[in-house]
């Protein structure tokens, strides 16, 4: 079993809380079809996957979102949507920052892997080194597609079992684990205890135990 070289974090709900509520509220007040908006044409109902995969530009995304929500498109609404999306991002969780600092103290590099909206690329500034920031729009795949983990690992130039992946979605963790990546389901209340399992002293000791399993899932309901 290899020692952990990289700790890769998801972004939304793992580094910071993300909500579409500000965007939805904005579009609700701009829509020409308020009666059908909340039923099937709200921002919550829109398919963001093409945008997250980098298949369409930001302007194309905004035009399509406005069309879906029955909101007249303009340069002004473009700016308002950009602002609303940023308003949906909270400050980083202190528990996550503490976890990153703890990992750094043990010479474990920090990275991110996110099914991100391209417009929010600036929200990860100063959190990780640019070369360790991986997004769906750059790689062209969405978690839990195995190809996104394979491409990330190729770029990192390491083995799967040298990566610790932290994400709030169980299906994303389980997909990564099928490749041999270590995984933790993010929980703000327990993340500091959970990452301690993978710090060099403890991990090296436990890796020698033949009864130890690589699957390290934590129940968020605890």
- Could you read off the pLDDT of 15-34 as tens digits, one per residue? 999 999 999 999 999 999 99
DSSP 85-134: HHHTB-PPPHHHHHHHHHHHHTTPEEEEEE---GGGGGGGTTTS-GGGEE
In the three-class reduction of DSSP (H, G, I as helix; E, B as strand; rest coil), residue 150 is classed as helix
Contacts of 177 (CB under 8 A, 6+ apart): 183, 214, 215
Which tokens go with 131?
């070369």
What is the predicted pLDDT for the residue at 202?
59
Q: Name the one residue in this structure whose structure tokens are 């035009």.
A: 63
Q: What is the rounded CA–CA span in Å between residue 147 and residue 78?
A: 32
Helices assigned H by DSSP within the chain: 21-30, 34-40, 49-52, 58-69, 75-87, 94-105, 136-139, 146-156, 170-177, 191-196, 200-206
Are 215 and 181 in contact by the 8 Å Cβ rule? The answer is no
Which tokens go with 64?
């399509």
Distances in Å between the Cα of 53 and the Cα atoms of 3, 5, 188 are: 31, 27, 28
Q: Which fold has domain 6-16+91-206?
A: Rossmann fold (3.40.50)
Q: What is the rounded CA–CA span in Å between residue 84 and residue 21?
A: 8
Which percentage of the chain shows pLDDT scores above 70? 89
Which tokens go with 144?
């839990």
Per-residue pLDDT of the chain (222 residues), as tens digits, is: 469 999 999 999 999 999 999 999 999 999 999 999 999 999 999 999 999 999 999 999 999 999 999 999 999 999 999 999 999 999 999 999 999 999 999 999 999 999 999 999 998 778 899 999 999 999 999 999 999 999 999 999 999 999 999 999 999 999 999 999 999 999 999 999 999 999 986 555 555 554 444 444 433 333
> pLDDT averaged over the chain?
91
What is the predicted pLDDT for the residue at 126?
81
Which tokens go with 206?
């436990």
Q: What is the rounded CA–CA span in Å between residue 112 and residue 193?
A: 20
């Amino acid at each position: 079993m290899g020692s952990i070289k990289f700790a890769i974090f998801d972004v939304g709900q793992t580094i910071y809380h993300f909500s579409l509520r500000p965007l939805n509220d904005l579009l609700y007040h701009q829509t020409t079809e308020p009666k059908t908006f909340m039923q099937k044409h709200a921002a919550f109902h829109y398919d963001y996957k093409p945008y997250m995969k980098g298949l369409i530009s930001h302007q194309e995304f905004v035009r399509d979102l406005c069309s879906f929500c029955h909101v007249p498109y303009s340069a002004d609404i473009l700016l308002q949507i950009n602002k609303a999306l940023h308003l949906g991002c909270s400050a980083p969780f202190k528990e996550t920052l503490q976890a990153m600092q703890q990992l750094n103290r043990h010479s474990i590099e920090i990275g991110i892997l996110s099914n991100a909206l391209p417009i929010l690329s600036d929200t990860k500034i100063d959190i990780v080194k640019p070369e360790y920031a991986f997004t769906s729009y750059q790689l062209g795949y969405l978690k839990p597609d195995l190809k996104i983990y394979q491409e990330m690992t190729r770029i990192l130039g390491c083995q799967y079992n040298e990566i610790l992946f932290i994400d709030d979605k169980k299906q994303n963790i389980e997909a990564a684990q099928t490749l041999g990546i270590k995984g933790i389901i993010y929980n703000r209340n327990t993340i500091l205890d959970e990452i301690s399992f993978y710090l060099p002293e403890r991990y090296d000791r436990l890796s020698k135990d033949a009864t130890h399993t690589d699957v390290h899932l934590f129940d968020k309901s605890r």
